[in-house]
Amino acid sequence: MAPIEMEERHCPLCKGVSYPTEDAAVFVCGRCGSSARFDDQALMAMDIPRYHLRLEELARRERELVALIEAESRRGAVRDMASLRSLHEERQRVLSEYSFLTHFQQFIDRW
Ligand SMILES: [Zn+2]
């Protein structure tokens, strides 16, 4: 008889260690709390806590940042370059998290 393996997987969202549940195909992440359903090695579906809220937050922040960048840029010669740079950097972080999260939409829809 083959020994029972304590199977461990990594969370598709944050790479944290995910643990098996009563449903053998479903693993829950110990770090972010996401649930992932697998078919063998293939990810089939996910439940990510606060998924839609986070997307809304990011979209709202992105609009705010665009407005702040435009307002600062309109100041022309007296614009604060350091502040503009940090606004642009934050906007890049917001956009990349948004884009990263939207890759999971298809799995969220299948949950
Ligand atoms: Zn996770």
Asked whether the beta carbons of 101 and 52 are under 8 A apart, the reply is no
pLDDT band with cut points at 50, 70 and 90 for residue 68: very high
Query: Based on the structure, what is the number of domains in the chain?
Result: 2
Q: Are residues 56 and 32 in the same domain?
A: no
b/e 46-61 (16+ beta carbons within 10 angstroms → b): bebeebeeeeeebeeb
90 vs 18: CA distance, rounded Å: 30
Cα 2 to middle of ligand 1, angstroms? 30
Cα 28 to middle of ligand 1, angstroms? 8
Cα 38 to middle of ligand 1, angstroms? 15
The pLDDT of residue 1 is above 90: no
Cα 76 to middle of ligand 1, angstroms? 44
Cα 57 to middle of ligand 1, angstroms? 19
Q: Are residues 27 and 59 in the same domain?
A: no
Q: Higher pLDDT residue, 74 or 7?
A: 74
Which residue range forms the structural domain that includes residue 69? 52-104
Q: Are residues 57 and 42 in the same domain?
A: no
